[in-house]
Amino acid sequence: DQQVKQNSPSLSVQEGRISILNCDYTNSMFDYFLWYKKYPAEGPTFLISISSIKDKNEDGRFTVFLNKSAKHLSLHIVPSQPGDSAVYFCAASARAAGGTSYGKLTFGQGTILTVHP
Amino acid sequence: DGGITQSPKYLFRKEGQNVTLSCEQNLNHDAMYWYRQDPGQGLRLIYYSQIVNDFQKGDIAEGYSVSREKKESFPLTVTSAQKNPTAFYLCASSTWTQEAFFGQGTRLTVV
């Protein structure tokens, strides 16, 4: 049972254009969502997060949008840069479910982003 | 510099052998986690510990064991009962108010 899904295995964009990565979830208990970036043979690095009480969070070139009714979130990268090429993972947690620290996450399968110069 | 150290980076194991992966953090985080990544898949939670001397099973705990005797250390043992142990293993730590910070991973291969 895949509770967090990233249906696009890969995405290719031109440098300077917008990258949009999508994520869907099924568990209504999820109340906190994160995006991690990962290079091969390395650990993921935290990128941006959003609480379920918000519908948008912005940090520089990165913006995450949350549509709770559709159980959908997306990550926008504007403008895209070649250094953004990596695997992006969407993750979710159910913090309000009770005393769970912030690292107990359910991950999607990842989307490989390639930004061409 | 604060961080999470996983060792070794690459590990080879013969079938039927137990092997222990090391994870040490100096971030003073209370919680630590072990995740497994398989090709084309996301990370799946194996075990986690939110306080010393306590730990809970994650989604795929069968064939694995852990201990948390010190705040800084959370070793993972892959036992012979784990039927498909070849994977990339990631250790992480977090506080109660900040996102998880990951180590660089250990790639385990059964030969």
CB contact under 8 A, A43 and B92: yes
Contact B2, B27 (CB under 8 A): yes
**Which residues in chain B touch residue A101, judged by CB atoms under 8 angstroms apart?**
30-31, 50, 94-96
Distance from CA of B26 to the nearest CA of A (A): 16
pLDDT of res. B62: 96
Of B50, B102, B107, the CB nearest to A101: B50
Evaluate if residue A28 carries a pLDDT over 80. Answer: yes
Best mutation target among B5, B99, B104, B108 (most A Cβ atoms within 10 Å) is B99
Mean pLDDT calculated for residue range A5-17: 97
pLDDT of res. A41: 85
Name the pLDDT band for A96 (thresholds 50, 70, 90): low
Q: What is the percent of chain A with per-residue pLDDT over 90, rounded to a whole number?
A: 86
pLDDT of res. B97: 77
Segment A34-72, tens digit of pLDDT: 999 999 889 999 999 999 999 999 999 999 999 999 999
Best mutation target among A101, A104, A107, A109 (most B Cβ atoms within 10 Å) is A101
Tokens of A108: 């999607």
Taking only the tens of pLDDT, chain B with its 111 residues reads 679 999 999 999 998 899 999 999 999 999 999 999 998 888 999 999 999 999 999 999 999 999 999 999 999 999 988 889 999 999 999 987 778 999 999 999 998
SS3 letters across chain B: CCCEEEECCEEEECCCCCEEEEEEECCCCCEEEEEEECCCCCEEEEEEEEECCEEEECCCCCCEEECCCECCECCEEECCCCCCCCEEEEEEEECCCCCCEECCCEEEEEC
pLDDT of res. A106: 93
Q: How far apart are CA A54 and CA A65, in angstroms?
A: 9
pLDDT of res. B99: 86
pLDDT of res. A98: 59
Tokens of A117: 């110069």
Taking alpha carbons only, the member of B67, B89, B69, B65 closest to residue B77 is B65
Q: How far apart are CA A7 and CA A68, in angstroms?
A: 18
Q: Name the helix (H) or strand (E) containing A34.
A: strand A32-38
